[in-house]
Amino acid sequence: MPESHPMGFLVLFLSILPTESTIGILNSINDLKKIPFGQSVPKHSLPLLHFFANTIEFDNNDLIELTFEPSNRDYGTHHYGNYEGVLDRLPPGQQYYTLGNINPMINNNGISLPSYVAGHVNHLFEGEELNRARIIFSLLDQDTIDQVFITQHYEANQDRGTGYDPVHTYRITINLLRELRVFSLDRRQHSELSEIGGNIGSGITDHELSSVRNTWGQLACVGLLLFIVINERNSPCRPNRAREPKRPPKCNVREPKLPPKRNVRQPKLPLKPNIRVLASPPKLNVRASVTPHISVNIPENDINLRPPNQDWDIVQCCYKCWFAFKICGLIVGVAIVISIIIIIFKYLP
């Protein structure tokens, strides 16, 4: 029974080893912003990744073409045995290679890495420990790359030897390699760098872009990549400066002239008829009879005997009554509507 314990621990250990299926995948610049560069991952990984993306080529079938010779140890390339089991085992006939060793003794027989990768701009990386970042790739055949990974050695103070850190090993997709190729070394003018930032969706300002160009000089595109990935990751509230679409030029089209207004005479209105208003009949100056017993009694209900102004007073009085009745009806209607609304809201569940 005790003999089964070592075997059980071995199976458990092998089951928790990271494999390609558990390795993170980086598919875009935005994915790079999620990696803690400058903290647990060296900043030097970004220039190395930039160099690799701008060194390889793509064929018409979207396959990655190898442009250097690993057997000559170009760029410090050598065979990687994957003894730690960081990556999946390859089919027979394929093997992994690692690239990025900046030790000058390694690159004596092959092409050396460029200065910005070999550590000649170490002061721009704030004196971090170099020669830890590595790129691992596998070959389908002699000239075709199958898979690409970015990884790193453990830090010296971790006492883990020269093995690769599986926690900070990521697979690089073709899409990310294509995005990195936009940061080409020959694009260092202010307008070109501003265009790159706009296409990537960066929020870098003109002042910050000028500072990047002054600091990095001929390597301004590399500095721009580090700024977008590291500085904008540390400032999540920075607004992205979306590139405005170019507006088509305005066509010089003259507006059509309106036809001149014709001098058309307005028709004359018919003259108002000169109608004279009949004067009210003069009041009769009737003296009271001297006879005290005789009086004249004019009946009040005789309409023919009313003065003309009395008819107009009756019309005005009727109009005022009708208007007052209309206002009262409107007030009553509004009160009924308000009462209905109050009852509805009162009995609603």
121-167, pLDDT tens digit by residue? 767 776 677 788 999 999 988 889 999 999 999 887 777 777 899 99
Query: Domain coordinates of the chain in residue numbers?
Result: 14-181, 183-241
Question: What pLDDT was estimated at residue 327?
Answer: 87
DSSP label of 215: H
Determine the Cα–Cα distance for residues 182 and 221; give it in Å rounded to an integer.
9
Question: What pLDDT was estimated at residue 314?
Answer: 63
Tokens of 172: 């690089």
Determine the Cα–Cα distance for residues 83 and 144; give it in Å rounded to an integer.
23
Sequence-ordered list of residues with C-beta below 8 angstroms from that of 40, at least 6 positions apart, any chain: 168
- The more confidently predicted of residues 327 and 106 is 327
Q: Which of 229-233, 239-243, 246-250, 254-258 has the lowest mean pLDDT?
A: 239-243
DSSP 137-187: EEESSSSEEEEEEEEEBPPGGGT-TT-B-GGG-EEE-HHHHHHHTTS-TT-
DSSP 56-105: SEE-TTSPEEP-S-GGGTGGG-EEE--TT--SPPPPTT--EEEE----TT
Does 79 have pLDDT greater than 50?
yes
Q: Which of 2-11, 14-23, 119-128 has the lowest mean pLDDT?
A: 2-11
> Percent of the chain at pLDDT above 70?
66
Question: What pLDDT was estimated at residue 279?
Answer: 52
Q: Summarize the confidence of residues 228-244 as an average pLDDT.
A: 60
Question: Residue 171: pLDDT band by 50, 70, 90 thresholds?
Answer: very high
Q: Which of 43-47, 155-159, 243-247, 304-308 has the lowest mean pLDDT?
A: 243-247
- The more confidently predicted of residues 156 and 311 is 156
Length of the chain: 349
Q: pTM here?
A: 0.62
Question: What pLDDT was estimated at residue 147?
Answer: 96
Determine the Cα–Cα distance for residues 182 and 192; give it in Å rounded to an integer.
10
Question: Residue 13: pLDDT band by 50, 70, 90 thresholds?
Answer: very low
Mean pLDDT for the chain overall: 76
Question: Residue 329: pLDDT band by 50, 70, 90 thresholds?
Answer: confident
178-227, pLDDT tens digit by residue? 999 999 888 878 888 888 888 877 888 889 989 999 988 889 999 999 99
Determine the Cα–Cα distance for residues 95 and 78; give it in Å rounded to an integer.
11
